[in-house]
Structure 1
Amino acid sequence: MINWRLVSRLATKRINSPIHFISRSCPLHSIHLLGRREVRTVTSTSHGSGSRCLDPTSQLSAFPTVIGGSVEADDKLLRTVFDTPASTHEFLSPSGATAGSPGLLMNSKLQSAKSLIQFAGDTLISARKVTNRILSLNDSSEQSLRGAIRLFDRLSDMLCRVIDLAEFIRTVHPDPEYIAAAEYAHSYMMSYMIELNSSSELYDVLRRVMDTPSVASSLSKEENIVAQLLLYDFEKSGAGLDKTVREEVMSLQHDISSLSRDFMTGIAPEYNSVEIDIKDLYGLDPMAVSELRRATAAKNDSSGFQYLKRSPSFARRRSDGPSKDALEAVQKVTMPTTGPIARMAALSVKSSEVRKQLYIEGRRSNARQVEILEDLLMARMRLANMMGSSSYAEYQLADKMARTPEAVKNFLDNLAIKTRPGAQQEIDLLKNLKKKSDSGNDEFYAWDRDYYMSQYTDLTKPRVKSYDFLNSYFSLGIVMQGLSRLFTRLYGIRFVPRETPPGEIWHEDVRKLDIMSDNGSTFGEQRVGVMYCDLFARHGKPRSPAHYTIRCSREIFSEEFHDGLDPGNRDIPTLVTGGLVYQVPTIGLVCDFVSKNEHGPTLLSFGEVETLFHEMGHAMHSMLGRTAMHNISGTRCATDFVELPSVLMEHFASNPDVLALFARHYETERPLPPQLLEASLAQRAAFRYNDTYTQIEMSLLDHALHSITPSSGSSGGIDSSAIYYAVEHQYSLFPVVQDAKWQGMFGHLVGYGAVYYAYLLDRAIASLVWDRVFHSGKEGGAVSREAGERFKNEVLVWGGGRDPWECFAGVLERDEFSSGGEKAMEFVAMGAGEQVAGTWR
């Protein structure tokens, strides 16, 4: 029986657990089952003994293989469903389960918010059965041990089946009852996962598997990889330690979790506003000044000021407010130090003193926030020391591509060497502009950069009448068409819109796509994945774009059809390929595109086009990865490798061969004039080195804060401000502001502690892959099936089932880098060089 009283206590607060970098997969991917490497082909027979050539249609609800409708008709429909309201589509239905509903997200168990809780309870019962089966192996024969790794992996899949689902629902569902139920289910399953994470009994079973030669040698390559990963993660969490030490480790982990929440909650400047004379706000939008004056005159109405901090739009302000006399009496306004108006002021206010004041106050952390950060850093260092590592960076990097703190530092230094000259040239350009407009003043400060960048942009903006209408060539439907056409050429897959019966989706704006492939089947085109696209902004929905794994791909082994451990997998959609049965991956793609076109389709800025291409890179990783094991499926790979497919996709967005596939005016069908995009890209690239160099500095700060060792820290604790200023003095392009204490505002220190460099590394690798595979001088290389198959076969299909350096070496055909190491990291930094510089979203 499930103790729902215990659950109700757990459900009252949301667990902030680590999540894979950028991709939204299961928070812990189960019992330390984080997942990484290996599997060459989807039809490989080297996954272990036993026949998998089954007829799944008699036991599982396999998808139909052949889908009706022509490719041309589906292509037209794809544009239509994204460019016109849902109410105009007969086959699109809003949410609201009815009798015979397929259930939310095609899960027949999810007919209501209450049923989500029941689904979590039923899954927990099955998970406990699998856990007990694993524990029973400690006293069983060697023959029985041969199936242990599959059971571990299956347990991981069960837990993620609820945790991933609940994470997605609580993020995007508009119904408070569903949100509450998802919080409830997520918290309870996470509680059980944490219990498993500290289980020495499970660790003993795994240790016995790996210490029994006849069993270890019989494991398939994937099973061995998963076993090694499980063993590493168990030991990293202290499972192999004696009880006293293990309890201390668990206490430290609890402290780290608590401090992380406190730090994220406390991210705010010491002072949230400053007083500024209205006459000193010359250059700021008069409407913004008017709103500041109104908010200041109505200080007793706190909602006015809070609104200014939250939203850049003034259209929804209340019509009532202070009297005319009260407004005219205001000579000093209360200016927020962060938020949209503060950013607007940084770009437009002429007064250097005002910009300086806002810059410093907007980056100054309070003493308590800095203290929390230093406690967190100390707790992480102590945990690393207890686990045998000298620093938290060393502890975190052992299973990453970089492997050592020294390799990360060298990589960042090499990248800084390649990037700084370009960044300095950009600053010199702005210095000259300041000299001309500020009586020859030679000093250039950090608070000058954004202002003079904005001035330079205005001065150099092309005077082309149609410049501001670049988005007319990128309606959402047209871009989705383009992505489908691109993936057809690269990978042989395409997007097909599908009807959504009542109850399957959570909002009428959601669109469902089947991902169809022309590969891997003797029966013709197959459905290899399902994607739910929730791309439009709405009240209460998160603004950040994201890719969520709702259900990952994995092989369903023959014994699962008969052992009765998991009745819940009976209606999971499946794919049959090469005689093997796989779960069909299901993902959610979330954006917050806002339609500014009342009588037409949603038109995207080019930055939004890049965002959509980026998230589709994650989606292809999930869809095309075809591993037998859950733990190494799709985006379940090394943190500093997972962004490669998504960052690579950004390169495609501006390629002429790719744009020729789709970019055309939404009304006239006129193709995109090349000069229109070139002008926009040229402006965006004007300060690309500064953007990248800023990321390098932030990565160096993260690295320095997490490279502290007991010998390097003072007896009184960690001085994060001293470390921050040391990094600034060594690397900053501007005079250092000594009293800012910005490290207390650096939220990524929690989620990406010691691995913030990862996005830079993947950006560098993506630049190399783009130049040498897709943009290698061959005509049409960016839309070449040969290049696409090369990237798919060397990177995407493996998920986390292959060492990332082997993927890197394979796709670049540079075998000497297959083992990684400092030379490989140096090659990436120096080889990518200037190409890694770019705009950062």
Structure 2
Amino acid sequence: MENPLLQDFNTPHESVPFSQIKTEHFLPAFEIAIKMSQKEIEDICINPAEPTFENTILALETSGEKLGKISTIFFNLNSAETNEEIQNLAKTISPMLSSHGNDIMLNPVLFKRIKTVYDNRNALNLNPEQMRLLERKYKSFTRNGANLNEAQKDEIRKIDAELSKTTVNFGQNALAETNNYFLQIKDESKLKGLPSYVLAEAKAEAENRKLEGWVFTLHIPSYLPVMTYADNRELRRELFMAYSNKGFQANEYNNEANVQKIAELRLKRANILGYNTHADFVLEDRMAKDPQTVKTFLNDLLTQSKPFGVRDVKMLEDYAKAKDGIKQLERWDHAYYAEKVKMEKYSLSQDELKPYFELDKVVQGTFEIAKRLFGITFVERKDIDKYHEDVKVYEVLDEKGQHLALYYTDFHPRAGKRAGAWMTSYREQSNINGKQVRPHVSIVCNFTKPTADTPALLTFDEVETLFHEFGHALHGMMANTTYESLSGTNVLYDFVELPSQFMENYCYEPEALKLFAQHYQTGETIPQSLIDKVKNASNYMEGYQTVRQLSFGILDQAWYGSNPLKVTSVSEFENQAMVPTNLYPVVEGTLMSTSFSHIFNGGYSSGYYSYKWSEVLDADAFAYFQEKGIFNKEVAAKFKKLLQSGGSVDPMELYIEFRGQKPSNDALMKRAGFN
């Protein structure tokens, strides 16, 4: 059987030939690609020549290319277009890859060669990017057990194999809990307050399931409007409880044991490597450097923001009591009353804004803003294969009209797609020995679908999400380094959110909004009066939102900055960790940890604080643009260089080169209204 995954892709820009790839191709492709990678590593180890940058570091950097390509395709599909067969395969393939990765990282002959080059680095006349690659490779080996004895290495192998299985199980359970739940409503009187577009979507969902009435799910485009608009408090409570107890029910998808096991295994691994906690291990290789810095950062922000969070909730409590006689506001009431007060305070509702944010127009808006900043353009390519009919593919051209990247977009929820929004790559950029490989990047979201009568219209939050992921995509597309492992978003984790959060700022700028915010029926550009409302409301509930975001970072640090072996109850541990950030009463039967995929099934364990850390950077960076002009060519050229540099330069050096100074908290405090 010819396996397309093992062939060169004879397609436009070597794009992935999705329609040719069948699920049964993956396992044999992985088995062969792992053997190819093993042979490449063996060739480095048995090379009789003295270790050099070229025959060791560069050879290692370029090894495993086929395996990397297959892995990227498989795991991206497992996130965006999965099925039971792919999920079962993931349980087999993840431990295989973990074992192979450890065979490399724990190979004493390979590490000896790397260490020889590293020890002689100052005599090798390396350029700055070569030196950065050497240092990153050496560090990755030492941080993954290269200096351990054989017994300890065996223990690391066992832990990593167990971790790969357990994290996959966690993610599959969380997805199953999201997909399995639905709420059917037959009585329309229970749906008062819901906008027509929400009802139309719920009616379509019911028809798809061949059911009467209206169906609501735990996918955000279905869930969030109910929490925001439904007058029926019991309906809000019912959906809230279902959303908030994912992985915390007495069924086969319960994630409590997985949460504890993942935390315990990561602690054990960190201890073997000589670190007190998993957080110590992770943060050593971040801008923050250590857990104490992160805890101080989070607690300082909490001290500054909590009074504003308390004020925000008190305002809603007073309103709900006066209007509806509610004596105790609950978590399922927050979005509903926040929207009510917002309407009264600013005369601004999502319903009023949505007609101006047609998805296709917003996408074109991101393209126009990127063109004005960086000179790049986007052309849809209908001849490039895709993995689902919802996906669109664009070719990105640089300011000279030359090929820069491919850009895939995938915007609507479906059963095979996990919740949330993310950017990923199918191929990353490199330029070794003059062979320029350009990236293929993708953003995946879960926005409201179009209906028979209405195109896909975005809430303002969804507009921000789209700009956020587009910022990540720009980081990938603009990449211009020599080595793939230093390219694009391959930067320290507490730096990676800078470009994404930076782009969110354009959602609030009249000069930018007028480029794409046009009424889907009349074509009218969003009026200045509505822009003013958006600007005036931009700090609304900022205290509450900041405390909420900090609570996630604090929970993350609690799991990984302490000893989870002492945890006897996941819920008690979480509730205790969250006490300083609680603005509402704790709701029995709900839990965050059991569906907190970012830290248990994603790359953010001990790193969730980086969203806020990067906000300091993005606010400071955008203040520079505001000072000079939000499309200022000179400032944009400096920011473009920051994007192009990826991880080839220390992030603080990169930032100072762009900004001319270290970042300051002042711009974030001013933007949040905490000054």
Equivalent of 2:651 in 804, 811, 815: 804
**Stretch deviating more after TM superposition (626-635 or 430-439):** 430-439
- The answer to whether 1:610 aligns with 2:516 is no
Find the counterpart in structure 1 of residue 259 from structure 2. Answer: 373
Deviation at 1:691, TM superposition (A): 1.7
Superposed counterparts of 1:650-799, under 5 Å = 650-666=504-520, 668-679=522-533, 685-709=539-563, 723-735=573-585, 742-750=592-600, 751=602, 752-771=604-623, 773-776=624-627, 778=628, 781-793=629-641, 795-799=642-646
- Contact 2:478/2:643, CA 8 A, preserved across alignment: yes
Deviation at 1:235, TM superposition (A): 1.8
CA distance in 2, matches of 1:258, 1:126: 24
* Aligned residue type for 2:395: D
Superposed counterparts of 1:330-479, under 5 Å = 344=226, 348=230, 355=237, 362-363=244-245, 365=248, 369-437=255-323, 441=327, 446=331, 448-457=333-342, 459=344, 462=347, 468=351, 470-479=353-362
- Contact 2:236/2:332, CA 8 A, preserved across alignment: no
CA distance in 2, matches of 1:683, 1:699: 25
- Contact 1:419/1:834, CA 8 A, preserved across alignment: no
- Contact 1:283/1:350, CA 8 A, preserved across alignment: no
Find the counterpart in structure 2 of residue 85 from structure 1. Answer: none
- The answer to whether 1:244 aligns with 2:244 is no
Q: Give TM-score scaled by structure 1 length.
A: 0.67
Over 3 Å counting, the alpha-carbon distance change for 1:433 and 1:811 in structure 2 is same
Q: Deviations over 1:369-399 (max 9, x none)?
A: 5454334333322221221111111111000
Structure 1: any 5+ residue segments left out of the alignment? 5-60, 62-99, 289-309, 322-334, 519-523, 558-579, 818-823
Partner SS for 2:541: helix
CA distance in 2, matches of 1:742, 1:181: 28
Q: Deviations over 1:714-761 (max 9, x none)?
A: 8x6666555434433333234556886654454433132211111111
Find the counterpart in structure 1 of residue 409 from structure 2. Answer: 533
Partner SS for 2:76: helix
- Contact 1:546/1:591, CA 8 A, preserved across alignment: yes
CA distance in 1, matches of 2:226, 2:18: 49
Over 3 Å counting, the alpha-carbon distance change for 1:346 and 1:753 in structure 2 is same
CA distance in 2, matches of 1:608, 1:497: 22
- Contact 1:103/1:110, CA 8 A, preserved across alignment: no
* Aligned residue type for 1:211: D
Larger Rg: 1
Superposed counterparts of 1:42-121, under 5 Å = 102=11, 106=15, 111-113=20-22
Deviation at 1:675, TM superposition (A): 1.9
Superposed counterparts of 1:208-287, under 5 Å = 208-212=116-120, 217-264=124-171, 284-285=190-191
**Stretch deviating more after TM superposition (121-130 or 204-213):** 121-130
Partner SS for 2:492: coil
CA distance in 1, matches of 2:193, 2:142: 59
Deviation at 1:651, TM superposition (A): 0.7
- Contact 2:488/2:647, CA 8 A, preserved across alignment: yes
- Contact 1:282/1:349, CA 8 A, preserved across alignment: no
CA distance in 2, matches of 1:311, 1:723: 40
Partner SS for 1:640: coil
CA distance in 1, matches of 2:323, 2:552: 31
- Contact 1:553/1:633, CA 8 A, preserved across alignment: yes
* Aligned residue type for 2:37: A
- The answer to whether 1:167 aligns with 2:75 is yes
CA distance in 2, matches of 1:160, 1:614: 26
- Contact 1:393/1:405, CA 8 A, preserved across alignment: yes
* Aligned residue type for 1:792: K
Over 3 Å counting, the alpha-carbon distance change for 1:604 and 1:587 in structure 2 is same
Over 3 Å counting, the alpha-carbon distance change for 1:601 and 1:346 in structure 2 is closer
- Contact 1:167/1:186, CA 8 A, preserved across alignment: no
Partner SS for 1:582: strand
Find the counterpart in structure 2 of residue 136 from structure 1. Answer: 46
Q: Give TM-score scaled by structure 2 length.
A: 0.81
* Aligned residue type for 2:126: L
**Stretch deviating more after TM superposition (149-158 or 602-611):** 602-611
CA distance in 2, matches of 1:256, 1:630: 26
Partner SS for 2:432: coil
Over 3 Å counting, the alpha-carbon distance change for 1:186 and 1:101 in structure 2 is farther
- The answer to whether 1:621 aligns with 2:506 is no
CA distance in 1, matches of 2:71, 2:157: 21
- Contact 2:230/2:236, CA 8 A, preserved across alignment: no
- Contact 2:305/2:543, CA 8 A, preserved across alignment: yes
Partner SS for 1:783: coil
Find the counterpart in structure 2 of residue 34 from structure 1. Answer: none
* Aligned residue type for 1:235: T
Q: Deviations over 1:116-159 (max 9, x none)?
A: 7776677556534422321123x4235x5543211111015443
Deviation at 1:315, TM superposition (A): 4.7
Deviation at 1:763, TM superposition (A): 2.0
- The answer to whether 1:833 aligns with 2:669 is yes
- Contact 1:101/1:111, CA 8 A, preserved across alignment: no
Over 3 Å counting, the alpha-carbon distance change for 1:702 and 1:283 in structure 2 is farther
Deviation at 1:212, TM superposition (A): 3.5
* Aligned residue type for 2:134: A
Find the counterpart in structure 1 of residue 199 from structure 2. Answer: none
Structure scoring higher RCO (CA < 8 A, sep ≥ 6) equals 1
CA distance in 2, matches of 1:480, 1:703: 36
Deviation at 1:554, TM superposition (A): 0.6
RMSD: 4.5
Deviation at 1:407, TM superposition (A): 0.5
* Aligned residue type for 2:671: Q
- Contact 1:554/1:633, CA 8 A, preserved across alignment: yes
- Contact 1:170/1:183, CA 8 A, preserved across alignment: no
- Contact 2:90/2:168, CA 8 A, preserved across alignment: no
* Aligned residue type for 1:609: V
CA distance in 2, matches of 1:493, 1:790: 15
Equivalent of 2:421 in 542, 545, 568: 545
Percent identity (aligned): 23
Partner SS for 2:394: strand
Over 3 Å counting, the alpha-carbon distance change for 1:193 and 1:312 in structure 2 is farther
* Aligned residue type for 2:321: K
The number of residues matched between the two structures is 647
Find the counterpart in structure 2 of residue 570 from structure 1. Answer: none
**Stretch deviating more after TM superposition (626-635 or 616-625):** 616-625
**Stretch deviating more after TM superposition (257-266 or 240-249):** 257-266
